[in-house]
Structure 1
Amino acid sequence: MRSSPPEVCIAILAAAALGVTACTQGAYPLDFFNEMHYQPSQRREQPDRLAPPPDAVPITGRRSAISFDQATELQNPVNRTPANLERGRQLYRLNCVACHGQNGDGHGVVAGYFQAAGFVPPVAFSSERVRGRTDGQLQWLITYGIGNMPTFKHLLNEQDVWTLVLAIRELGGQ
């Protein structure tokens, strides 16, 4: 049995209409995965959010930036306990070994590349340059970096930086 031409045309048009409507995205898509770009707060029609007051101070949870000289007066708030020393060693292995070496002697795997490129090599923790620094100065150097040493203020919280100072003192023989 053959279909008549009008029935075929209607079937083709219905399939095409269904295909076109299925390919367009509606205002409220089915949210199988919780994705940020489908949040109601991201609608263009909404008015702008209220601006913060003009004299507001943003809070980051960290201490305000201080100078290196001001850091001289800072005292390490982390007690020298076996647990804190172990945590400091762990932080050292994760963040410092590549440059300063396993024993804090300044001979990490990256140190040779610094010397070959003509840069100042990483300092040994037993050197007078480190031993003469206060804990506050070491905390500042780790937080803000110096020379080739990167800043760790976005990688480590303040507690971890102070714990790392304990490990540096231990490796330096202090």
Structure 2
Amino acid sequence: MKGSILAMNKNKIVLASFVVLTVVTSLSACRDKESRGLEYARNMYDNIAYKPNRANKNFADGLTNQTPPPNTDPIGFVKYEYANTKEGYEAAGLNLKNPLPKSPQNLLSGKHYFTVFCAPCHGDQGDGKGHLVQIEKFTGVPAYHGDAASSRGGLMKDLSEGKIYHTIMYGLNNMGSHASQLTPDQRWKVVMYVQQLQQIQ
């Protein structure tokens, strides 16, 4: 009997000590709002690099983000010099040529990008009957072959590679620009595949 009372008192003492320790720890953690508590591997969250939108004493204007020097381009940037106008479209049609060789690998890659980005509207066969057209989300999507007319004049099957590239770059009518989704090489691969679809009878 005496032993069980002693064991109950030990349990109460341990529980009370735990509660007191928890309360003291919690209150001490709330004391300093800037404190992050116990810091482990501080360099993982407190980096030495300046954050882009923060002040920086190393530059005259006091900002970390700086305007690039004049006449410079980002690494990997490819300049596209044809404006999003009817004239730019016609000039691209005359002057732009696909720099990639026509190979089975490039055609297969072009088919992949076409399936992902173009087929939902234009259809797998380029017939203008893609999934989004069938559920009546969009209408008037032209086919690449047959007697389908381009909204800019002429037949879709006669569009040059430069005109197709220009349209992928800027979009047209309901079709938005795909410049942010496809790199220049990927666009040219899509152009190559579209030109293959143009030959379907």
Structure 1 residue 30: Cα displacement: 3.7
User: What's the counterpart of residue 39 of structure 1?
Assistant: 47
User: What's the counterpart of residue 69 of structure 1?
Assistant: 90
CA deviations 1:59-89 (Å, max 9, x no partner) are: 3612234121221211111111111111111
CA deviations 1:103-134 (Å, max 9, x no partner) are: 11001111145xx57x6521101045222221
* TM-score normalized by the length of structure 2: 0.64
CA distance in 1, matches of 2:196, 2:187: 14
CA distance in 1, matches of 2:129, 2:113: 18
* TM-score normalized by the length of structure 1: 0.73
Q: In structure 2, do the counterparts of structure 1 residues 54 and 85 end up closer, same or farther at CA, with 3 Å as the change threshold?
A: closer
CA deviations 1:32-52 (Å, max 9, x no partner) are: 8945xx433139564223743
User: What's the counterpart of residue 49 of structure 1?
Assistant: 64
CA deviations 1:2-26 (Å, max 9, x no partner) are: xxxxxxxxx78x9265343487524
Q: In structure 2, do the counterparts of structure 1 residues 21 and 31 end up closer, same or farther at CA, with 3 Å as the change threshold?
A: farther
Match of 1:146 among 162, 166, 172: 172
Match of 1:99 among 110, 121, 138: 121
User: Which residue identity is paired with 2:181?
Assistant: L
* Structure 2: stretches of 5+ with no match in the other structure: 1-8, 10-19, 58-62, 83-87, 148-154
Task: Quote the sequence identity (%).
Answer: 19
User: Which residue identity is paired with 2:187?
Assistant: V
CA distance in 2, matches of 1:44, 1:29: 24
Where relative contact order (Cα < 8 A, 6+ residues apart) is larger, the structure is 1
CA distance in 2, matches of 1:166, 1:45: 48
Which aligned pairs between 1:112-151 and structure 2 lie closer than 5 A?
112=134, 120-128=139-147, 129-151=155-177
User: What's the counterpart of residue 15 of structure 1?
Assistant: 24
User: Which residue identity is paired with 2:159?
Assistant: R
| 3-state SS of 2:30 partner | helix
User: What's the counterpart of residue 170 of structure 1?
Assistant: 196
Q: In structure 2, do the counterparts of structure 1 residues 46 and 65 end up closer, same or farther at CA, with 3 Å as the change threshold?
A: same
* Structure 1: stretches of 5+ with no match in the other structure: 2-10
Contact 2:55 2:64 (8 Å CA) reproduced: no
Instruction: Check if 1:85 corresponds to 2:111.
Output: no
Structure 1 residue 145: Cα displacement: 0.5
Q: In structure 2, do the counterparts of structure 1 residues 32 and 93 end up closer, same or farther at CA, with 3 Å as the change threshold?
A: farther
Q: How many residues align?
A: 160
| 3-state SS of 1:110 partner | helix
